[in-house]
Amino acid sequence: MRKSLLAIIASVLLTVLPVAAQQRPGARGAGPQGGPQVDDVQPLNAVLQGLRGRITGRILDANLSAGQGGRSIYIVRTLERDGRERVFTIDARSGEVLGERGGR
């Protein structure tokens, strides 16, 4: 009886532990739902500080996404003081502004 109980517990653990390891936050590999890998990206705060000199208004939102070829990028939307909305695409590893859409 004791051996059977140990065998059942062992089989449950062997089934559950690999699944739990795959769902662990911060695990290496692609992010959730095939999103970006977050191992080597700059913190969002650092990227936004680098952008401060280019905007006159406020930041509406910022998201980490997977760009072309799986490159991690930040998409940052701003609202300028004159009411124009701008969208910046920023390399999440280097902080380089890759593109900008919206008014100037």
Q: Structure tokens of 88? A: 């910046």
Choice among 18-22, 49-53, 54-58 with the minimum mean pLDDT: 18-22
Q: Report the 10 Å Cβ neighbour count for 79.
A: 16
On the question of pLDDT at 89 being above 80, the answer is yes
| Residue 87 identity | V
Per-residue pLDDT reduced to its tens digit, 54-86: 888 999 999 999 988 888 999 999 999 999 999
Choice among 4-8, 11-15, 25-29, 42-46 with the minimum mean pLDDT: 25-29
Q: Which CATH class is domain 40-102?
A: alpha beta
| Strand segments (E) across 1-104 | 58-66, 72-79, 85-91, 97-102
Give the start-to-end residue ranges of the domains of the chain.
Answer: 40-102
Whole-number pLDDT of residue 91: 94
Contact 64, 89 (CB under 8 A): no
Task: Indicate yes or no: pTM above 0.75.
Answer: no
Mean pLDDT of the 85-89 span: 95
Contact 55, 79 (CB under 8 A): no
Whole-number pLDDT of residue 60: 95
